[in-house]
Amino acid sequence: MSGKIKVLVVDDMAMVREILAKGLDMDPRLTVVGTAANPYIARDKIVELHPDVMTLDIEMPRMDGVEFLRKLMPQYPIPVVVVSALTERGKRVTLDALAAGAVDFITKPSSDIARGLNGMLKELRGKVVAAAAANVSHWKRALPAVSTAAVPIPVPLKRQGALAESTDKVIAIGASTGGTEAIREIVSKLPAITPGVVITQHMPPGFTRMFAERLDSESPMEVKEAEDNDRVVSGRVLVAPGGLQMSVYRSGGNYHVNVKPGALVNGHCPSVEVLNRSVAEHVGANAVGVMLTGMGGDGADGLKAMRDAGAFTLAQDEASCVVFGMPKVAWEKGGVVRMLPLKDIAGAIMDYLRIRR
């Protein structure tokens, strides 16, 4: 992309549009080419101005941001960063927006507005720059233009009775930008007999619990936000909580997770690097590592350590990534055994572990 990144700001409040536009224009890499008070104006401005990225308030009258995304993405795919509230409803709608094609999201400050606003705008500038490199072309192929509602996904019944007492295998998955849908694509295909799965997805506190609950409703496995000392067992998926670091350790013949406050690692908490390093050390050759779409290189060294310890490692290929950052760095560092399209990763895991499809 040559020149400045062109941004369209969509929000129903004039004051917010002005604040976001001024905040984005502070970055020399960005230029706000227009603003819109609602999706109808935004639609016309997209056609007229051809922005590279759109910021989108998802709670608007007449047509909310999620409905707009469902109509827009099959016809005119564009990287979108949604602006979300920290309310419970705001979190639910944010996950709906990610499922409808948004690349990333940012939360409005809920307290100490003056200080929080500066931090939010700084984060927004970074996310808009990252979004400009995102690949959203698959949305034009993925959804019919007439679709305006999510299609229910049939989910096989979860295994009845208690989970397995132990597992000798652990599947570790790391992701960032675009990862929520990539993770859903994989986890929804894994049967209830799959060995324990541990996931680090870059996401702030509060959102990970709701993300885990949504995955649980779409997966044959049990999915939950991890708690300290939770067992890693067959049939269970543990999602690292936002704002905490998660690692795996072994106690006797069982695997557990440590979930503790910790410093940022590679700029993240939770960090994929923390998870992968622990899996390399404590699980070794009994592990499967998966690196999915995301900006930067978090977890790449840890995935290399996993491979060096004998683990089978996979990464999502460039064509199916929203952002081909983390898989690319992991590949370049020698941490990846196989690079695959997203649609083939669940099958590759099952084939390697000899799980009947």
Annotated catalytic residues are 176, 202, 298
CB neighbourhood size of 21 (10 A): 19
**Which candidate, 251, 333, 241, 227, places its Cα nearest to that of 289?**
333
The answer to whether 333 and 325 are in contact (CB under 8 A) is no
CB neighbourhood size of 258 (10 A): 17
The answer to whether 57 and 16 are in contact (CB under 8 A) is yes
- Token pair, residue 175, equals 């992701």
DSSP state of 320: G
Quote the crossing angle between the two packed helices 300-308 and 272-282, to the nearest 10°: 10
The answer to whether 136 and 79 are in contact (CB under 8 A) is yes
The answer to whether 269 and 243 are in contact (CB under 8 A) is yes
DSSP states along 289-313? EEE-SBSS-TTHHHHHHHHHTT-EE
